[in-house]
Amino acid sequence: MIGLIWQGIKDLGLKTLWNSLQYQLRQRRYRTETAAVALEDYRRPGTVIDMSRDGRTVTLQTVSGAYAITVLAPNLFRVRFRPDGDFVPPFSYAITKPDAVWPPCDFTVVTTDAAVTIRTQRLTCRVDRESGRLTFLDPHGNVISEEAEGIAFHPAGPVVCRRRIQPDEHFYGLGERAFGLDLRGRRYETWHTDPQTYQLEQDPIHLCIPVLVGLHSQGQQGYAILFDNTFRGHFDLGATDQDVASFEAEGGEMRYYFIYGPTLASILARYVELTGRTPLPPRWMLGYHQCRWSYYPDERVRKLAADFRHTYRVPCDAIYLDIHYMDGYRCFTWHPQRFPDPAGLIADLHTQGFKVVVIIDPGIKADHRYWVCQSGLENDVFCKLPDGRLLRGPVWPGDCYFPDFTHPRVRTWWGELCRSLVEIGVDGFWNDMNEPAVFGPLGTTFYDVTRHDLDGRSGDHREAHNVYGMQMVRATVEGLKRLRPDERPVCITRSGWAGVQRYALGWTGDNESKWDSLWLTMPMVMNLGLCGLAHTGPDIGGFNGVASGELFTRWLQMGVFFPLMRAHTNFHSPDQEPWSWGEPYLSINRRFIELRYRLLPYLYTAFWQCHQTGAPIVRPLMWAYQDDEATHTLDDQFLCGDNLLVAPLIAADADRRTVYLPAGTWYDFWSDEPIVGPAHISVEASLERIPVFVRAGAIIPMGPAMSYVDEQPVERLELHVYPAAGSGQALLYEDDGESNAFQEGEYRLTRFTLIATGISPTALEIRRATESHYTQACDSFEVVIHGVHHLPLEIVLDGETVAPSQCAVDSDGHSVRLSVGPFRCLRFVWTE
C-alpha cells in the first residue's frame, strides 16, 4: 500500500493524487441511486390483446405495454417492448443501416387462439398469447432460442430479458472478456472499466460489446442477440440460475436484434450489415509495430529506428509515441525539449520507411493558457454536471475537462484538432483512456449524473458511458477523413461498443507479462471477432511486469498470426524489443517477424474478406467446423484466415504440445508432413517453432520477407500449393495498400482453383482467374507444390508443354517449384 502511494506520488505528483482522492469521494456522492429494485416489483408484458401489422413491423398490444417486432431480413428480427407502447424510430449508436434501406422481405403473420406467429423463409418468431413470451424457431420448427420468464421491466427504469439455456448451449461474444472462449456459467457486466492491469476472470474490463452468440444442438443451431441498450447492464449466462441466460440494463428500452445463422459465418455477415463493416486498413498496419510507454526523447526514437534498420535488421513498419511526447500531457502539443522538431523527426522516420502513431487521451488539461482548453471553453465542448459546472477529473495532465463526444458539434471540433498532428506528419492515432477512465482505484469514471448530449436526445453518463469511447474514435476518424480524404484513416482504440469496428481497430489493453495472459489473448481476440471487432491484437510480451526472452518469443510467434502485431510495455518495465534478450531470441524473433512479412499477401486477403463479409481474421476452429463439438470450447489454438491452423506454446520451458486437428488433411507447415484429422496429436515445438498446419487444398500466397513501406511493389509472389484429393479454392486480393482507389475498382482479386488426385498427387491443376484491374498487381509467380518429392513428368502451361527440367526439387526434398508468368491454367503430371 505504502509502495503504491509512493509510486503514485512519483508518477503523478501529490496534487493529482489529492485531486484523485477528492474525485472519488465526490463520485460516491454523485452516484445515481437506482431505486432498490426488488424482483417482485418487475412487471411483465402480460397477455397479448391486439395485433396489427404495418409494413415490416408487427405491433402486439399486451396488458402492460406493447411489442414491436420488425422483420429486417429473413434471418434478422428486431424486438422492442415499451410499457408506453410509443414506438418512435429507435436511435442507436450501434446500428448503421436504417430500416428503410433493408430490401423488402416477405413474411407471414398467422394468428391463432394460442399464438401470433411471424414467419420468414429462415426464421419464425412465435408469441404465446397468454404469457406474452417469445420463441424463435428454425424453418423445421426446432427451437433456436426461447424466453424463460421473458421480458420484464421496472417502473424505476431497469429492463431485463430472461431466456432458457439449451442443454448443450455454449455462449460467446460480449466483447473483450478475461475468460475462456465459452462464457457460459458466469455473470458479466457491461460497463467499460480501466482495470490498470487485468487478471484472469476480472470483469468488466476496457471494451464491452452487448452481443451474445449462442451455439447448441451439436452445433446445428447458432444465433446472435445484439442487446441494443447502452445503459450499465449485465449478461448472466447461467450464473444465478443455471438454466437461464439473461441480459439486463439499468434503464432505456428493451430492444434487441435477433440474428439466426445457423452458421457463424452467416451470423457475422448479417451482423456487419447491421452495424457496419471493418474498413480495409492500409497495408502498413499489417506489419510489425513497436511501442513502449514511452520512447523519448527524439534521439531515443531515432536510435530505435536505427536499431531496426541497421543494428539488428528486423523489419518494422510503425513506431508509437506514448504520452511523454506531449508537453505536460497536453493533447495536441509536443514537449519542447524532448521533441523540439517533431515534423523533422517524422520526416526522417518516413524516409526510413516507418509510420508514426501517437497517443491521444480524451482528457484536456484544465489549464486556461493552453490553446485546446481555451478553444474547448470557447466552443462549449466539455461535459457538465447538472448544475451547469464543468466536470473536472484528474488524469495524466492533472485536472482535466472532457469533451462530450456524444455531441456532433464536439466531434467536429475534435476532428479539426487532429489537423495539427496530421500536418506534422503523424500517420495514425491511438485513443487511450476512453472507457472513459479517471484516476482512482478500479472503475473510476465520470460521475453518473454527468450530462451528455447523446446526439440531441440529452441524458446522463449512465447512458453515455458505454458509447463515449466509440464516439471519441468516431470523432477522430471522421476528422481524419476530412483532413486526408485520399487515405485510409488509422485509429486504435482501447474502448468501444457494438459497431466500433467501422471506425477503429482495438488492442486488448493492459495485460500482463505472464503465460496465462498470453493464452488469454486467444479467447479474447476470438470473442471480439465474433462481436464484429476483428482487427485487434495484444501487447506482445505483456504490458505490466517483466517478460522473459522465452515469453516474448512465444508471444511474438503467436502474434505473427494476429491482425495487429504490436509489442508494447509499461513505463516501469524494461524494453521489449525483438533484440532485448540477445541470442538466440533475436535471430528467432527476426525470423518470425520476417515470416509475418512473407505472409502479408495471405493476411491482407484475409483482411479484405473480413471487410467484405465480417469473417474475422483470427477465428475459433468452430468457425469452419461448427458440427465438431470438440471445437466448441477449444481456446488454445485458432484459425488464421481460411487455411492456417495455429497452436501456440503457452507454458514456460515447453517444447511440445497437444494439437487438435479437425476432419480433413493438414500439412505440417514446417515439415510438409500430411496428417489426417480429426486427431489429437502431440507436436514438437522447440523455441524455433510454433505449431502451424495448412489445410490440404489450400494455396497460400506469400511475398518477400521485407517491410512493406520501404520497398517497391512486390515483384514476385510465391504460391504455396498444398494438394488434396478433389478441388479447392483460394483467394488473393491486391491493391495499392494505401489509397481508396480500390473503391473505384483499382484492385485485383484472383480466384485460384486447385484440382488434384490427392496428397502426393499423380496429377494437379491450378486455374487462375482474375477480377477487376490493378496496374501494379504482381504477374510473376513461383509455384511451390508441397508434399511432392519428385520432378513432374509433364507440365502444361496454358496449353503449351514446358520442360520438366524447368522445375526444381527444394533442398528439403518435399516440395517442387516452378517460376511462371500470369498463367490461366497450369497442369502437372507425375505418373501416367
Nearer to ligand MIG, 31 or 572 (CB): 572
Shortest Cβ distance from residue 664 to ligand MIG (Å)? 40
Which residue of the set 169, 432, 478, 577 is catalytic?
Answer: 432
Shortest Cβ distance from residue 200 to ligand MIG (Å)? 18
Is 138 annotated as catalytic? no
Please tell me whether residue 506 binds ligand MIG under the rule CB under 6 A.
Answer: no
Please tell me whether residue 510 binds ligand MIG under the rule CB under 6 A.
Answer: yes
β-strand 451-452 against 364-365: which pairing, if any?
Answer: unpaired
Determine the size of the site formed for ligand MIG (CB under 6 A).
10
Q: Collapsing DSSP states into helix, strand and coil, what is residue 407?
A: coil
Shortest Cβ distance from residue 571 to ligand MIG (Å)? 7
Contact 198, 238 (CB under 8 A): no
Shortest Cβ distance from residue 320 to ligand MIG (Å)? 9
Please tell me whether residue 133 binds ligand MIG under the rule CB under 6 A.
Answer: no
Contact 207, 494 (CB under 8 A): yes
Residues 558-577, interacting with ligand MIG (CB under 6 A):
568
Strand partners, 48: 62
Please tell me whether residue 176 binds ligand MIG under the rule CB under 6 A.
Answer: no
Shortest Cβ distance from residue 396 to ligand MIG (Å)? 7
β-strand 699-702 against 717-721: which pairing, if any?
Answer: antiparallel
Please tell me whether residue 494 binds ligand MIG under the rule CB under 6 A.
Answer: yes
Q: Of 154, 155, 153, 135, nearest to 145 (Cα)? A: 135
Nearer to ligand MIG, 293 or 579 (CB): 293
Nearer to ligand MIG, 58 or 356 (CB): 356
Please tell me whether residue 512 binds ligand MIG under the rule CB under 6 A.
Answer: no
Please tell me whether residue 359 binds ligand MIG under the rule CB under 6 A.
Answer: yes
Distance, CA of 689 to CA of 687 (rounded, Å)? 5
Distance, CA of 630 to CA of 817 (rounded, Å)? 37
Residue with cell 477449444: 634
The string over 253-270, giving b where at least 16 C-beta atoms fall within 10 Å of a residue's C-beta and e elsewhere, is: bbbbbbbbbbbbbbbbbb
Q: How many residues does the chain have?
A: 832
Please tell me whether residue 326 binds ligand MIG under the rule CB under 6 A.
Answer: no
Q: Collapsing DSSP states into helix, strand and coil, what is residue 416?
A: helix
Which residue of the set 404, 435, 642, 735 is catalytic?
Answer: 435
- The H-assigned helical ranges of 104-149 are none
Estimate the crossing angle of helix 549-559 against helix 515-530, to 10 degrees: 20
Q: How many CB atoms lie within 10 A of CB 220?
A: 14
Strand partners, 752: 730, 768
* Contact with ligand MIG (CB under 6 A) among 249, 321, 323, 820: 323
Contact 678, 655 (CB under 8 A): no
172 CB-side CA count, 13 A: 32
Shortest Cβ distance from residue 538 to ligand MIG (Å)? 11
* Contact with ligand MIG (CB under 6 A) among 499, 509, 648, 737: 509
Shortest Cβ distance from residue 431 to ligand MIG (Å)? 10
Q: How many CB atoms lie within 10 A of CB 729?
A: 12
- Nearest 5°: the CA angle 715, 639, 667 is 70
Nearer to ligand MIG, 576 or 605 (CB): 576
Nearer to ligand MIG, 494 or 827 (CB): 494
Nearer to ligand MIG, 212 or 395 (CB): 395
Nearer to ligand MIG, 293 or 733 (CB): 293
Nearer to ligand MIG, 233 or 506 (CB): 506
Shortest Cβ distance from residue 293 to ligand MIG (Å)? 4
β-strand 233-237 against 781-786: which pairing, if any?
Answer: unpaired
Shortest Cβ distance from residue 206 to ligand MIG (Å)? 8
Nearer to ligand MIG, 13 or 55 (CB): 13
Strand partners, 789: none
Secondary structure E strands in 713-762: 717-721, 726-735, 747-756
Shortest Cβ distance from residue 439 to ligand MIG (Å)? 8
Shortest Cβ distance from residue 219 to ligand MIG (Å)? 36
Q: Collapsing DSSP states into helix, strand and coil, what is residue 705?
A: coil
Is 380 annotated as catalytic? no
Q: Of 718, 717, 720, 716, nearest to 699 (Cα)? A: 720
Contact 320, 311 (CB under 8 A): no
Q: Which three cell numbers stand for residue 23?
A: 474525485
Q: Collapsing DSSP states into helix, strand and coil, what is residue 113?
A: coil
Q: Of 229, 275, 235, 202, nearest to 462 (Cα)? A: 229
Nearer to ligand MIG, 75 or 513 (CB): 513
Q: Could you report how far apart the first and last alpha carbons of the chain are, in Å?
A: 78
Nearer to ligand MIG, 269 or 291 (CB): 291
Please tell me whether residue 322 binds ligand MIG under the rule CB under 6 A.
Answer: yes
Shortest Cβ distance from residue 730 to ligand MIG (Å)? 37
Sign of CA dihedral 351, 355, 359, 365: positive
Site string for ligand MIG, 263-302 (x = CB under 6 A): ------------------------------x---------
Residue 24's Cβ-count burial label (10 Å; 0-12, 13-18, 19+) is middle
DSSP string, 601-630: HHHHHHHHHHHHH---SEE-GGGT-TT-GG
- The H-assigned helical ranges of 250-393 are 264-275, 298-306, 342-351, 371-378
Nearer to ligand MIG, 459 or 469 (CB): 469
Site string for ligand MIG, 526-565 (x = CB under 6 A): ----------------------------------------
| Residue showing the smallest CB distance to ligand MIG in the complex | 293
Write the CB contacts of 689 (distance below 8 Å, at least 6 apart in sequence).
Answer: 670
* Contact with ligand MIG (CB under 6 A) among 432, 435, 448, 453: 432
Which residue of the set 427, 478, 510, 635 is catalytic?
Answer: 510
Nearer to ligand MIG, 359 or 505 (CB): 359
The string over 239-250, giving b where at least 16 C-beta atoms fall within 10 Å of a residue's C-beta and e elsewhere, is: beeeebbbbbbb
DSSP state of 167: T
Write the CB contacts of 575 (distance below 8 Å, at least 6 apart in sequence).
Answer: 292, 569
Q: Of 678, 667, 694, 687, nearest to 634 (Cα)? A: 678
Shortest Cβ distance from residue 495 to ligand MIG (Å)? 10
- Nearest 5°: the CA angle 724, 725, 728 is 60
Is 539 annotated as catalytic? no
Q: Which three cell numbers stand for residue 301?
A: 526514437
Active-site positions read: 432, 435, 510
Provide the binding-site residues for ligand MIG, judged by CB under 6 A: 293, 322-323, 359, 432-433, 494, 509-510, 568
